[in-house]
Structure 1
Amino acid sequence: MQQSLVLQQALTWKMNQSLHQSIEILQLSGIELYDYVQKMAEENPLIEDVQPIDKQVLTQFHGETDAFENMNASKKNMYEQLKESLYMLSIPEERIKQAVLFGIDSLDENGYLDISMEAWAESCQLSIEDIEQALSYLQALDPPGIGARSLQECIRLQLKEMDCDYPFLDDLFENNLFLIAEEDIDTLAETYAITADEAGRLIANMKLCHPNPGKLLDQEETAYIIPEAAVFKEDGEWRLSFFNWSSPTIQIRDDMLQMTMPKDGAAYLKEKKKEVEMLKQAIQYRGKTLEQVLRIIVNKQLGFFEEGIAALKPLTLQEIADALNLHVSTISRTISHKYLQTDAGILRVKYLLQREARKGEGVARVVVKQHVRQIIAEEDETSPLSDEKIREKLETLYHMYVARRTVMKYREELDIPSSAKRKRRMDRRDD
């Protein structure tokens, strides 16, 4: 029992001490980052000033909304987002799918399974084997680590996504976790008969793991909608330009470092200097990663900036992660609470990541939904189109091939009644 307690404390300590600042800064918006650095400046006497930030930006951008985002304006919590993600999984048996939904509702706020397998099976009136299958589907959802029953399993699930799930991990967690905390590559490699490169990669990947994956699906929004960068056309080419508040510059007091002082004072300033250097590195990493991610997104969606919603292409976090050789959770944190200034207004970066309507077709769901909305808006009100007729028009007019039930699903998501109800509504209006 004591070993399990030590494991949790040590692993949590490792994640918090080594990663907390980098993870937190990565997912902050520009104005949140500035406030964060200002708070650090209050606690660190070496920080003289933080530049630059234009306070007028608050007046300029505060209160602006994104027209495109109004199509999906409601905030979704972790449970709703996970249930929406089930569409990506092919679950042939309805009873297993219902068990997965029950499992999602049984997660705690951090994304951990808060029910025993036996209680889950009893509640769904299924066998343990069925529940184990449901658990495998649940744990296949993003972000990796969702549905874990312990911190150790949470980390292993994330390492598995990184192709770093070694058979010796159980022993490492139970007996030699200090090797990770101390980043002792040589001893780790020798103990488990792996190469130094493999040991270094394992330590680096463990740093990327998030101890509370449910927090990555937090619905909390920023107080101000302020863009990180602007997308604009200049000399016939689309360009991406970052605002200066996206990466604040920290000025330190060199005079304090040159002062002669007692040993304790010198050690204190040395520690504070190290804090500033770590902060600068975290800010630099945030800026570099954000720029790389945004350039991929903008280049992929150039058609959208030229033609609007109808030209949006499917794009996923995994595609970006693969292109940059980063973990998908890193991409998710990078675009969290981030906005772009465009000709159409301020746009949430996440809006530019769209799911595919039908695998292999290369058409984003939002585009199909937009056409469904347009077709219905232009229909003869005295003879509303059935879902099958809408499907045929999508095929004829836009060369989009989706099933009738998909049309029905999108129509319902758009809160548009069926053709029969639209007809009755028209008849009552005539009366």
Structure 2
Amino acid sequence: MKPNLIQQQTLQWKMNQTLLQSIHILQLSSIELTDYINEVVKENPLIEEVNYDYDIQQYRKSHSEDVSIDINRKEETMYDKLKFQLSGVKVPKELKPVVEYGIDSLNDDGYLDIDLETWAEDCRTTVPMAEKALSYIQSLEPTGIGARNLSECISLQLKEMGKDYPFVMDLMEHHLEWVATENVEEIAGYYETTEEIAAEVIDSIKLCHPKPGLLLNTQQPEYIIPEAMIFKENGSWKIKFYKWANPTIKISDMYHNLMGMEKEADSFLKEKYRQVEWLKQAIHYRTNTLEDIITLIVEKQYDYFEHGIMMMKALTLSDIADELDLHVSTISRAINQKYVQTPKGVFPIKYFLPSGVRQKNGKKTASNVIKYLIQEMIDMENKRKPLSDQAIKERLLDEYDIDIARRTVMKYREQLHIPASTKRRKR
């Protein structure tokens, strides 16, 4: 066959250096940004000074009494480790951002912190696609990662062991106290099996880890510093960004003095100058994006800042992305592992973007509000007769007109690290 020269026009998107660096720096916390800039300074002779205006160590000393604030080099997180595993899995290109969003939506214990409908809505995809993305997450190690509740977590681990008992899900959801008290007779009688099998089920469950995310999280405490301060002044809420989140980079006069030297040296200096300019633009992009996001959050959660947790609204990444005309992944990267200081303490920015539970009247109740109410009920309960998950569900409906499933109560209770009623009972 005679070869032919064919001219074909194709549309291709290529990231330039500035965009790549902007995306990378957008994800960094203030501590990581400081470390990154320090590394650039070491190999770029044109940078004369980086002005952070207010030293991080000064901040540490002035807030030494606040136990929620401290500083340390950030360790590799559970999210980092899972995404590294994901890089070795063949995931369809269109599904990868959906999977990564799911990983970012896991709580510290490794459980999925949003429902599939919210996940699909935030990623502008379908529920079946979110389910498929979840299957990829649940294929990662350790087994149990990505579970939506304790029963699913245990079930996934038992399947991995080759011990997939048909009644385990029901046992974990409705009769967990039988497992806790090792009530072999009740399990055998209720599920019409032998006591030997019931005992084997209990022994197998004991081998499972109830919080697989902890196996990936660093055991050392994670220390943090905030990006900004949210405070009230003269009757209005304001935002002040700490200078370390937006440092000023000064170029040495040496650059202008040495320009016009021999070609090789001149080329080197120009390259180092471009590097500084890229870095400045990336820092500027990070600062502006964070400022826009936090400003909008304060606006949307105004009632929370004024009146407290009971006034917090359900707010999603998608809501913020639509308002700012940005992609959801950009918002996710910008707020990941970043914190703000408020009159009530230091909180991750994600705290102000709680998922919501839709009620019969069509309105959504923020998950943080429901968790707060559950915590209050349990704090005030009779310790001799602690409230069951079903009792909490009924009280939420009767007293606050919040209608959620019992399993949702159990999920939120576990996220609050509160044991089941059988473990809370005191004689």
Q: Which TM-score bucket, shorter chain as reference? A: 0.5 to 0.7
- Contact 1:227 / 1:346 at 8 angstroms: preserved in 2? yes
User: Equivalences for 1:98-137 in 2 at 5 Å?
Assistant: 102-107=135-140
Q: Deviations over 1:254-293 (max 9, x none)?
A: 3422434112222221121111111111111111111001
1 CA distance for matches of 2:37 and 2:351? 28
Match in the other structure for 1:9: none
Match in the other structure for 2:115: 87
What's the % identity of the aligned pairs?
44
**Structural RMSD (CA):** 3.7
Structure 1 position 48, deviation (Å): 1.0
Secondary structure at 1:23's aligned position in 2?
helix
More helix by share: 1
Cα separation, partners in 2 of 1:312 and 1:23, compared to 1, 3 Å: same
Match in the other structure for 2:243: 244
Amino acid aligned to 1:306: E
Please tell me whether residue 21 in structure 1 is matched to residue 21 in structure 2.
Answer: yes
Cα separation, partners in 2 of 1:284 and 1:408, compared to 1, 3 Å: closer
Match in the other structure for 1:392: 394
Amino acid aligned to 1:407: V
Match in the other structure for 2:299: 299
Match in the other structure for 1:378: 380
1 CA distance for matches of 2:118 and 2:46? 56
Secondary structure at 1:370's aligned position in 2?
helix
- Contact 2:313 / 2:365 at 8 angstroms: preserved in 1? yes
**Structure 1 length normalisation: TM-score?**
0.59
Q: Deviations over 1:285-338 (max 9, x none)?
A: 111111001111122222222233222221111111111111111111111221
Cα separation, partners in 2 of 1:329 and 1:28, compared to 1, 3 Å: same
Structure 1 position 24, deviation (Å): 1.8
Q: Deviations over 1:81-136 (max 9, x none)?
A: 28515622499xxxx99987653233589xxxxxxxxxxxxx99xxxxxxxxxxxx
Secondary structure at 1:269's aligned position in 2?
helix
Match in the other structure for 2:330: 330
2 CA distance for matches of 1:273 and 1:100? 43
Q: Deviations over 1:359-398 (max 9, x none)?
A: 6432111211221221233234454444444333223322
Match in the other structure for 2:287: 287
Please tell me whether residue 36 in structure 1 is matched to residue 64 in structure 2.
Answer: no
Amino acid aligned to 2:346: I
Please tell me whether residue 358 in structure 1 is matched to residue 358 in structure 2.
Answer: yes
2 CA distance for matches of 1:293 and 1:99? 30
Secondary structure at 1:363's aligned position in 2?
strand
Cα separation, partners in 2 of 1:108 and 1:76, compared to 1, 3 Å: closer
Match in the other structure for 1:135: none
Q: Deviations over 1:14-70 (max 9, x none)?
A: 559554421221111223222322221221121111112433124335795549xxx
1 CA distance for matches of 2:37 and 2:131? 46
- Contact 2:114 / 2:355 at 8 angstroms: preserved in 1? no
Please tell me whether residue 257 in structure 1 is matched to residue 259 in structure 2.
Answer: no
Secondary structure at 2:333's aligned position in 1?
helix
Cα separation, partners in 2 of 1:268 and 1:414, compared to 1, 3 Å: closer
Cα separation, partners in 2 of 1:222 and 1:382, compared to 1, 3 Å: closer
Amino acid aligned to 1:395: L
Secondary structure at 2:50's aligned position in 1?
strand
Q: Deviations over 1:407-426 (max 9, x none)?
A: 3443344454555x269x34
1 CA distance for matches of 2:293 and 2:249? 24
Match in the other structure for 2:10: none
Cα separation, partners in 2 of 1:257 and 1:355, compared to 1, 3 Å: same
- Contact 1:61 / 1:226 at 8 angstroms: preserved in 2? no
Amino acid aligned to 1:265: A
Cα separation, partners in 2 of 1:379 and 1:343, compared to 1, 3 Å: same
Please tell me whether residue 229 in structure 1 is matched to residue 266 in structure 2.
Answer: no
2 CA distance for matches of 1:60 and 1:274? 37
In the alignment of these two chains, the number of paired residues is 297
Amino acid aligned to 1:34: T
Cα separation, partners in 2 of 1:86 and 1:368, compared to 1, 3 Å: closer
Amino acid aligned to 1:240: I
Secondary structure at 1:411's aligned position in 2?
helix
